[in-house]
A and B are shown apart, each in its own frame.
Chain A
Amino acid sequence: MPLLQINNMSHDFGGLRAVNNYNLETEPGQIRGLIGPNGAGKTTIFNLITGIYRPTEGDILLNGQSIVGLKPYQIAAEGLGRTFQNLRLWRHMSVLDHVKMAQYSKISYGLIGAFFGTPKRRKEEAEIEEKAYSLLKLVGMANLADQLIVNLPYGDQRRVEMARALATEPRILFLDEPTAGMNPEELIQMMEIIRRVHSEFGLAIFLIEHRLKVVMELCEIIQTLVFGEVIAEGSAEEIQNDPKVIEAYLGKETIL
């Protein structure tokens, strides 16, 4: 059974069909890519899967169970972690607090623990702190754990966001343009982190990217989305030579 299966998903914004008849089957441990020109509906697909929008039609199955209609936090707790295109970090919180916060669903000390500081709370807080440190070490940010997030450079913020997404213990990680706005050095670091995360946790990863270098190097299967519709699906090589993809990105060749 595929880990995540999407059947004929469509979504309308008023009269505009943003996503049309989208299908997906992801196996555990697979890295997939989603490319397409601006406004093609890539982020909308992420928002549909993670429950921010509810699809107009179609079904989303995680391990055979439908997750349509669940709240975003429930879907996240089911094992669909994500990052955002424009970061969405919490500007007044420290790096460590970011990664601790993402383990919210694992907390069981309840309100009594929160109000009175019971031993159970101390134990659980220590556990999630330890986990947070190990994740920060993985992305190379452990030495800056006490810093406020706004004091960090952009590339570091991206890495914290990655650690935060991993802290939700996802089975599939959705990365929305993980290398947007990065310089070449940061880009290589980020690709290294994605590879390490993939091999260490055996995660399935689904990423949106504009940089073809990243997609071509990392992904096993790539989908190309244009105006809400998948026009091509296949390996990096197949996509690169697909005339429809070339047309979507470069326009049609006209012979005068």
Chain B
Amino acid sequence: MNAMTPEPVLREAPTSRRDPAVTPRTGLGLMLRLELSESLRSRWFHFYSFVAIGLMLLLITTGISESRVLGFTGLSRLLVTYIQIMMAVLPLFIVVTTARSMVGDREAGNLEYMLAFPVSLRTWYWGRFLARLMLVLSPIFAALALAAAYGAVMGHEVPWRHVGLYSGLVAALATCFLGIGFLISSVSRSTEVALGASLLIWLTLVAFLDLLLLSILIQQRFVPDFVIGIALANPLQSFRTASMILFDPQLILLGPASYVILDHFGVAGYVAWAMAYPTALGAALAGLGYWRFSRGDLV
């Protein structure tokens, strides 16, 4: 309307042809697609995919499948090396990128706008969680498939049992650290705090691996139950032990503590624990994050 014109011109605007009886609502499928396409555009995902797949290509080209450790060679050797390296990379990527996601959106004002749409908080939160889980797993599954294809071409026997086990372990570990990331993102009021907390948690869990503080505790003959408790409670250690258990069934690398683990669980029992515990822990932490997210101020 021109400020010089005193008479307001009121016309009837074209109105929506949507049936007013139908209440529009954002469903889980739409939320998944939104988050998937959002993450597929992001640099962290490109870099993460490059690292996850590039590492497998690097291991293949360096001929690690031809070397031998503890009697293991071929694709089994390739896979166990890959999975041990990913144990360090995967949680760090997940927890750092996830912890800053929601709190970053809150700071930027994206949440204020997007949550004004008719989407339930449950759909919003769990849609993002599922989309992220699919995204962080897809490059690793692609790398494992690449290794299987390489083995088939080179005439190696493809160790499907190992591929299946590692896929399950990776999915459990990813769920666990996504849960940690979502919880941190829900409770943090700034990106800096979220990043700091996520790094601190990752470092603590890495420190309590058998390679570092845990081995010192074992050397110092700490109470075995305490050491075993830490080994079982640390999802990184669960992953590492379960991934070793295939080629080191006596868990020699873990020292005397392995007796307790094997006595209590057995090989199959421990593998089941290593898959179930991180998954349950991640789901519980994500659930706690949702509880906190849905009960506090959203923006």
Q: Are A and B part of the same complex?
A: no
B contact residues vs A (CB 8 Å cutoff): none
